Structure 1
Amino acid sequence: MNATEQAPQARLLTPAELGLCVRLFREVRQWSQEQLAEISGLNVRTIQRVEQSQAASLDTRRALARAFDFEDVDVLNKPFTIPTEAELKAQKEKFDREHVTLTALPLTTGKQLAKLVELHMMDLSEPGFELSREADETFAELVDYFRDYRDCADAYTETTKFEVYDELQARIDALKTLGVSLRYAERKMQVKWGTDSDAKPMPVSVLYVVAFPLGKEPEQFATPKSGGIRL
């Protein structure tokens, strides 16, 4: 058999193959079924049915394609080249080389967040799912506030810090009311300052503050090993 004959042929996915691909795409991204449901706009039961090899509608396949960032939203409704086991393994190894998996810990109080901010000179804070406009603005206000606090935390006395705790708590509570839960992670990194290629990287501790759907918080999340960090 020659190389051309051995190459996988493009064809429509069976329900079983679609279920397998969806599960693999999801697991490569370190997403739970709940996270995929939130990102795709589908309900969890639909995700479960697809992964259990049950038939999926045209709209369901389109929603999944959008969630996995396919440029063609109809890609799962067209002839599809099934990845070989070796290709899937290579994709997983590439993802692992480019990403680090962090433990997601509960972030529930303003005082807890303030203390974490004091310990880290950098942060990467972002929603882990599509927020409503109101929730997006509330999250942005929270991030702006604790970044401003980090810049001048030394100027606060232990007594005046309670005002900061209360302000942060109010925003955390507002997010919870809007169905948003916060998780945090900490990571040690090497950062090179300036444009000098000979500059020696400096060790820094980075704080991640990530918003997830309330009640659907993951135990871990994956993030690029190199990415935008906010001072």
Structure 2
Amino acid sequence: MTTANPPRLLTPDEVGACIRQFRQMRHWSQEQLAEISGLNVRTVQRVEQGDSASFDTRRALARAFELNDIDALNKPFSLPTDEELKAAQEQFERDHVTLAVTPLTTGRQLASLVTSCEMDLSEPAIELPREAAAEFASLVDYYREYRECHDLYSETDKLEIYDDLQRHIDTLRVLGVSLTYGQRGVALRMGSGLPMSATCLYVVAFRLGQEPSQIVTPKAARIG
């Protein structure tokens, strides 16, 4: 059994190793971590290489990984043992699922996806500028309304829906945002009743040109 390491200030190399481990555990690229933390990619690369990181940079990284204490990397820190790292990785994988995602480029494609899934979890993977955030929210509101009453539309009417969805997608691309989607079977539990099977659509916004091929999402979620 490995003895726990006593708390101490981490060296730059150790901070870099921790950041790399935390990032890889979540299946994030350096570009994704940069977006989530608000840092530039070169800063993330330098930190992982063992270069000295400022107080604010360490805070930004701790916040990105949702550490309980955003100053955890600026204080004496107990490095996890190999056994603790392995246990944390296994726990993370039990609590999360990795989904393949595909570029979402046309309004017709989005309409078909929306009507083939009973629910969706749609959100930006990055902090969007105000204009792009409003456009993404408008798109989500639009296709959720369409899903609720799509069977009332004629085939001719649906062509207008496809065009409207396409305009939202195109506007987001002009604003530097692209969309990806993934699908996943889920079990919905309503109160104390038996779980019901459903298909969940994930529509995720990324910076144009930085779309991943996979995302990691919690296995369980509370639907409000």
Give the shorter-chain TM-score range.
Answer: over 0.9
Which of residues 10, 34, 38 is equivalent to 1:37? 34
Deviation at residue 201 of structure 1 after TM alignment? 2.1
User: Given the alignment of the two structures, is residue 211 of structure 1 paired with residue 205 of structure 2, yes or no?
Assistant: yes
Deviation at residue 58 of structure 1 after TM alignment? 2.1
2: CA distance, partners of 1:111 / 1:21: 44
2: CA distance, partners of 1:220 / 1:35: 12
In the alignment, which residue of structure 2 is the partner of 1:51?
A: 48
Conserved 8 A contact 1:103-1:185: yes
Q: Deviations over 1:133-163 (max 9, x none)?
A: 2111111110000000001111111111110
Name the TM-score, length of structure 2 as normaliser: 0.94
Q: Deviations over 1:164-222 (max 9, x none)?
A: 011111111111122211110011112233x2x3x332221111111111111111111
Deviation at residue 19 of structure 1 after TM alignment? 0.8
Deviation at residue 91 of structure 1 after TM alignment? 0.9
Deviation at residue 229 of structure 1 after TM alignment? 4.5
In the alignment, which residue of structure 2 is the partner of 1:145?
A: 142
Conserved 8 A contact 1:122-1:229: no
In the alignment, which residue of structure 1 is the partner of 2:25?
A: 28
1: CA distance, partners of 2:7 / 2:189: 45
Which of residues 100, 115, 133 is equivalent to 2:112? 115
Q: Equivalent residue of 2:70, what SS?
A: coil
2: CA distance, partners of 1:83 / 1:138: 43
Which of residues 179, 191, 196 is equivalent to 1:202? 196
Q: Provide the identity percentage.
A: 60
In the alignment, which residue of structure 2 is the partner of 1:223?
A: 217
2: CA distance, partners of 1:149 / 1:20: 47
Structure 1 letter corresponding to 2:137: A
Which of residues 96, 99, 105 is equivalent to 1:99? 96
Conserved 8 A contact 1:124-1:228: no
Deviation at residue 28 of structure 1 after TM alignment? 1.6
2: CA distance, partners of 1:173 / 1:29: 30
Equivalent pairs counted in the alignment come to: 224
Q: Deviations over 1:2-53 (max 9, x none)?
A: x9x9331111111111111001111122211001001111111111111111
User: Given the alignment of the two structures, is residue 164 of structure 1 paired with residue 161 of structure 2, yes or no?
Assistant: yes
Structure 2, unmatched stretches of 5+, are none
Conserved 8 A contact 2:4-2:80: no
Structure 2 letter corresponding to 1:48: Q
The correspondence of residues 1-80 of structure 1 with structure 2, limited to 5 A, is 6-80=3-77
Q: Deviations over 1:40-89 (max 9, x none)?
A: 11111111111111222222212212211234332212111101111111
Name the TM-score, length of structure 1 as normaliser: 0.92
Structure 1, unmatched stretches of 5+, are none
Conserved 8 A contact 2:4-2:81: no
In the alignment, which residue of structure 2 is the partner of 1:135?
A: 132
1: CA distance, partners of 2:126 / 2:223: 19
